[in-house]
Amino acid sequence: MDYETKPVSRHDLRKFAPEFRMMFHVPLTGPLPVMQLLDKFADVFPGSNYQIVEDSDLPPLTMALCEINDDGGYTIEIKESVYTGACGTSCGPNPGFICHEICHAFLLSKGYTPLRPIEHSGVKIPAYCSMEWQAKALCGEVMIPYEESIGMSEETLVATYHVSWAFAEYRCRMGNKTLSTPLDGDAE
């Protein structure tokens, strides 16, 4: 399910990316060590934790899930196959699924909280007000530092940042698109 939240532009999300990396004490450039972020998650967000769950415990298309917990932090549930895949290799989609959920926690901590659910409501909201779009866009900005990656091919992005081909394809498709509108939420 997705939720409507206060708006944020890709430009602002791009500015959040270095802050995100600094919070976890990882380099501002190069590939993102997602499993290190996961190990530091409770230190960065007190009261938080993560759990590895059976694949059947989450819906089929949900690879991981971040929720606010009773301890004042966040709990990330990660499908066992996703966790195992992320541990087995730092490449591909699995680290991105985990990073996406950590991005939800980061955005929630910055006040991008749910205003109302939008699934099945029939209401179409702009992407920049969608919690899922915001986490996905921030995840892309965190995993592929923008300035450093300008002009790179999909192959180079995958090899350099260990991201999925889908992330690399999207980054190349967006290219050097200028951020011309104050709220530039695209549908992807």
SS3 (DSSP) at 58: coil
Residues in the chain: 188
Give the pLDDT confidence of 76-92 residue by residue, as tens digits.
Answer: 999 999 999 999 776 78
Look at the chain and report how many structural domains it folds into.
1
Average pLDDT in the chain: 90
Beta bridge partners of 79: 53
Task: Confirm whether 179 is domain-assigned.
Answer: no
pLDDT at residue 26 in the model: 97
Task: Confirm whether 185 is domain-assigned.
Answer: no
The answer to whether 11 and 178 are in contact (CB under 8 A) is: no
Q: Is pLDDT at 180 greater than 50 in this prediction?
A: no
Q: How many other CB atoms sit within 10 Å of the CB of residue 174? A: 13
SS3 (DSSP) at 49: strand
Q: What is the pTM of this model?
A: 0.90
Q: Which structural domain range is residue 27 located in?
A: 3-174
pLDDT average, residue stretch 46-59: 98
Task: Confirm whether 184 is domain-assigned.
Answer: no
The pLDDT > 70 percentage for the chain reads 90
Identify the residue with better confidence: 41 or 3: 41
**What is the helix (H) or strand (E) element at residue 52, kind and residue range?**
strand 49-53
Beta bridge partners of 68: 74
Strands 74-79 and 49-53: parallel
The answer to whether 49 and 39 are in contact (CB under 8 A) is: no
Task: Confirm whether 182 is domain-assigned.
Answer: no
**Binning pLDDT at 50, 70 and 90, where does residue 124 land?**
confident
pLDDT average, residue stretch 97-109: 98
Task: Confirm whether 104 is domain-assigned.
Answer: yes
Q: Which residue has the tokens 């915001």?
A: 134
Q: Is pLDDT at 6 greater than 80 in this prediction?
A: yes
